[in-house]
Amino acid sequence: MFGLALKMLFGDTAKYLMLVAGLFFATFLIVQQASVFCGLMRWTTSTLKNVPAPIFVVEERVEQINETNPLRDTDVSLVRSVSAVRWAFPLYSGIQRVRVTDGSFKTVQLLGIDSSSLAGAPARMKEGKLEDLRIPNTVIIDELATTRLAHDPDHPIKIGDVFEINDIEARVVGICEAMRSFTGGPYIWTTYERALQYTPPSRKMLSAVICAPVEGIDANAAAAEIERKTGLRAYVNDNFGKNPRDKKKVGKDDKPFYGDFNTSTVWWYVRNTGIPISFGTTVVIGFIVGIAIACQTFYAFVLDNLKHLGALKAMGMSNFRLSLMLIIQATTVGIIGFGLGLLATSGFAMGAIKNAQPPFYMPWIIPVVAFGVIQLICMIAALLGIIRLSLYEPAMVFRA
């Protein structure tokens, strides 16, 4: 019987395609926009991904990695004095201007790391040696910088090329892999001392202290210890959501310990920018488009077939089986529309990955939730049909 239900569905080609198209667009809008939002949020934490240190110590009011309330240089020693800390080094992080060979300026995310330990250096080098960063006036750039800072995109920057950061020469000694920054600019690594030279001077310049816990001590416990002993804010550099905000009340003065810097950063952008509302609106529009098209079309499909469904009812088919038929029809178009929508989103993702923009990150939860949303839309559509059908008296089938 359910095979016949599907034949009835597929047989009405116009409505079937309309249903699939509606659910396809709904899926595409929901999944694509949610993934771009997640990608953008991931970009906000790119410094944390590009500087692989277990703990970041920052000024106590700092809530996200792209916000800088400079520390005193002596704070590095203060952090080192905490017994739970194995090592601690300074980190400079700031947006600077680079003058490229044609005289134009590009903004970059400049990172200054400790020259002796090179703690905070890029994890994956593509070309060159990390140690060459100790040579005067040298930098390591990411892959994006090779084209972004080049005069001609067909002739990307290579090792040995020179450009200027705030009128000071910078020679490229290495090219690395890195995640793109939230501002869209490339990452450039240099030593901490040289980063201070590249940067217009101010009273305090230290962006953060990066450190690691003593072996055998959990990073969260070490961070809590740092907060207690120094009065600074210490965040662990874990994955988003691993240490949700306010979960651990181990901070000083019973203040909530913010835990993971990634989570804290993302939540800061969610709370303080219009990004979630902007993307959320599109996701809601996707839902509304899906509801509107699917419900309207499916209801029209039921109305068109009402006399046939009524005849089935008169011939002895129960309301339960008729409802199941409608649910199977709705679920089937839902699965097909969702599959096509996900396929289109994958195509979009491939393009985004190839061009390195727009940001695209699709954790498994997005397609799972989107599938649930699409099925919810289909169930609402089916429910409308079921209600209409249940009100249809089988005797009405005798009326011409």
List residues binding another protein (CB under 8 A).
1, 3-4, 7-8, 10-12, 305, 307-308, 310-319, 321, 393-395, 397-400
**Smallest distance from another protein to CB 383, Å:** 20
Cβ proximity to another protein: between 361 and 392 the closer is: 392
Nearest approach, Cβ of residue 319 and another protein (Å): 8
Identity of the residue numbered 331: T
Rounded distance between C-alpha atoms, residue 117 and residue 134, angstroms: 10
Tell me how far, at minimum, the Cβ of 312 lies from another protein, in Å.
7
- Burial class from Cβ neighbours inside 10 Å (0-12, 13-18, 19+) for residue 340 reads middle
Is residue 79 within 8 Å of residue 87, measured between CB atoms? no
CB nearer to another protein: pick between 45 and 305: 305
Cβ burial, residue 285 (10 Å; 0-12/13-18/19+): middle
- CB 322 within 8 Å of CB 313: yes
Nearer to another protein, 218 or 393 (CB): 393
Among residues 25 and 298, whose Cβ is nearest to another protein?
298
Kindly state the smallest distance separating residue 396's Cβ from another protein, in Å.
8
Closest alpha carbon to 285 in 45, 25, 24:
25
Distance of closest approach, residue 398 Cβ to another protein, in angstroms? 5
Q: Between 9 and 34, whose beta carbon lies closer to another protein?
A: 9
Minimal distance, residue 310 CB to another protein, in Å: 8
Instruction: Considering the complex, state which of residue 116 and residue 390 has its C-beta at the smaller distance from another protein.
Output: 390
Q: What CA–CA distances, in Å, run from 186 to 43, 141, 233?
A: 12, 8, 27
Sign of CA dihedral 286, 289, 293, 296: positive
